[in-house]
Structure 1
């Protein structure tokens, strides 16, 4: 008997809620419920953004995609920049692809959030190098910090926002090993200091 009563009361609540929701929608039918873009506190960039993978797109397709994102109301795009591709040998940088992406994002009126990660073979510990484990953290965090500083020095006028490493809280993105918060904190600290030394306005 008690279960039947609870069932009836539950149904009544569902019906009442539905009627109230319908009345609310009808009352606001003539209103514009689209919220205007708002900036994040203390930052002159729209709040809405999206993660993208733009590398490898032809220039025309890249420009079209970025224009679509801008028209959709996004203000920033989160794009990964792979250390392995940019610095394949110590001190030897290939910026061509990164230049193309950063220029296209900026020309589209979007703010890039640069995700820096991926260790080249020369920066890996021997075991990670043998396993071709490019998402393992570098053996020497100072190597990554120097790369991050070079990136910030080159793109300081166009890139303000940075993320250090992609998903370091899951094993596949931290060398398929146990998560190491202390080690990641060291990597983050060293990279952040290097970036800010090159660009005092950087946000990490």
Structure 2
């Protein structure tokens, strides 16, 4: 289907030989429904859906082609379309160009640093603050999925690059820059991608322990398990468990009133562009409705953005070239029945009235602290330097054949540091014939001057076969502890 720009009051389009008409929806900012489509979206489909929000993630690298050289044409078009059609827009600051990736992990330039994020976030928020002739963006997100989806070829190489210490200072820098240039805009955290309950809890805990929870107006996660969202499978959480884990960490730090957004969720009904599990049309509709029901009843999840709405036959597209799927029809009926979800956190402020003679885009202006936060921001805890580590793994259970699952693997470990003090982050990697599962543990704080041996939190589980367990320390340069095997029959 050809992408269209729809800015008038009435548009006509043809679908399967039938002619339909609609008026662009002047959706309230309080709408809990959105899509994550391409940039710019198929506006006719977006308007017809009656969602109130659209999420637009245009790669930073496609905007800044060389240092200080920007091309805003595509994003300008998207912002203008949504402003004209009364749909709220959340712009994702994602995938920095290589020359802005100054943080190196596993020998790879992976992430921008705080300075790089501050500069670019200031440029974007000043351009789209409603006062400079380029429209208004009411919400920004500091990152998409890149902050916890890196794969380095092995878990040993990967885990140190999925920790929150790379991200926290960048979140703070982006938040401060945006609030300085567009004070009423919302700023959300990156969309947590890795479907691991322990990882999610550890990531959010680190952000809050180190004061970075103050620098977001909403928490954010993506939900892609490929299966039934009502079921928790080992370390892979159900949909309600994921938002509960996030909320519980926030509540522990007296920030439980802050909302959560799920900015991507979907299921594939074919393999076009989607290598993961395939579900039936009925399952796709059922699973999406479950997510909406869980979110609506939560009083915690404020918004859900469905992936996706396109003009092609992508496996997750709710409206392919053959016409709307049952999940799209379900969404239409759901929005009609539940246009809002009752009391929630405040919606973003409306676009400010443009000044009569807008000035040039202002230079980035730093601000010393967030505009508001219920959480005090303690000093950042630096990673401790480890000089020694060991682990021990044992299996105990029945001796007869076929009894592996009736026994228990027990793992323990120790470490020492060089005495500089700091935080020690670590995880256990369990492996049997079902594959590998990573169990992230809460970090341990070591006082300066302490060079004694410390025990980590041990791990125990019921294996399905013989296998191994490995203690992995997540700080750069930490000693490598070999995986310990166990045998059972």
Q: TM-score range by the shorter chain?
A: 0.5 to 0.7
Q: CA RMSD in A?
A: 2.9
Counterparts of 1:36-47 in structure 2, within 5 Å, are: 44-47=29-32
Q: 1:167: Cα distance to partner?
A: 2.0
**Residue 79 of structure 1 contacts residue 112 of structure 1 at CA under 8 Å; is this kept in 2?**
yes
What residue is the counterpart of 1:17 in the other structure? none
Counterpart Cα distance in 1 of 2:151 and 2:114:
16
TM-score by length of 2: 0.28
- Residue 121 of structure 1 corresponds to 98
Secondary structure of 1:52's match?
Answer: coil
The Cα shift of 1:52 comes to 1.1
Alignment of 1:23-38 (within 5 A): none
Q: How far apart are the structure 2 equivalents of 1:83 and 1:171?
A: 18
Secondary structure at the counterpart of residue 159 of structure 1: coil
Residues 24-63 of structure 1: CA distance to partner in whole angstroms, max 9, x if unpaired?
xxxxxxxxxxxxxx96xxxx331111111125xxxxxx5x
Q: Is the 8 A contact 1:45 1:111 kept in 2?
A: no
1:104 aligns with 2:104: no
CA–CA distance in structure 2, aligned partners of residues 187 and 173 of structure 1 = 21
Q: Which residue of structure 2 lines up, in the alignment, with residue 137 of structure 1?
A: 111
Q: Would you tell me which structure has more helix in proportion to its own residues?
A: 1
- State the alpha-carbon separation in 1 of the partners of residues 69 and 45 from structure 2: 35
CA 78–156 in structure 1, closer or farther in 2 if over 3 Å, else same: same
Structure 1: give runs of 5+ residues left out of the alignment: 1-37, 56-61
Counterpart CA distance in 2 for 1:127 and 1:166 is 18
Structure 1 pair 67–108 and aligned structure 2 pair: CA distance change class (3 A): farther
Structure 1 residue runs of 4+, over 6 Å off?
Answer: none
Name whichever of 44-53 and 163-172 sits farther off.
163-172
Who is 2:35 aligned against?
A: 50
In the other structure, the counterpart of 1:163 is 141
Q: Determine the C-alpha separation between the residues in 1 that align with 2:102 and 2:123.
A: 22
Deviates more, 1:145-154 or 1:69-78: 69-78
- Check conservation: 1:112, 1:161, Cα contact below 8 A: yes
Q: Tell me, yes or no, if structure 1 residue 78 matches structure 2 residue 63.
A: no
How many Å apart are 1:82 and its aligned residue?
A: 1.3
Aligned partner of 1:12 in structure 2 is none
**Aligned position for 1:184:** 167
Q: How many residues align?
A: 151
What displacement does 1:202 show? 1.0
1:146 counterpart = 2:119: yes
2: CA distance between counterparts of 1:111 and 1:143?
A: 27
8 Å CA contact retained: 1:45, 1:76: no
TM-score (norm 1): 0.64
Mapped to 1, the partners of 2:119 and 2:80 lie a distance apart of 22
Counterpart pick for 2:177 among 194, 198, 202: 194
Secondary structure class of the residue paired with 2:35? strand
Change (3 A) 1:47 1:127: closer
Structure 1 residues 172 and 190, CA, compared in 2 at 3 Å: closer, same or farther? Answer: same
Between Structure 1 and Structure 2, the one with more strand by share is 2
Counterparts of residues 7-26 of structure 1 (less than 5 Å)? none
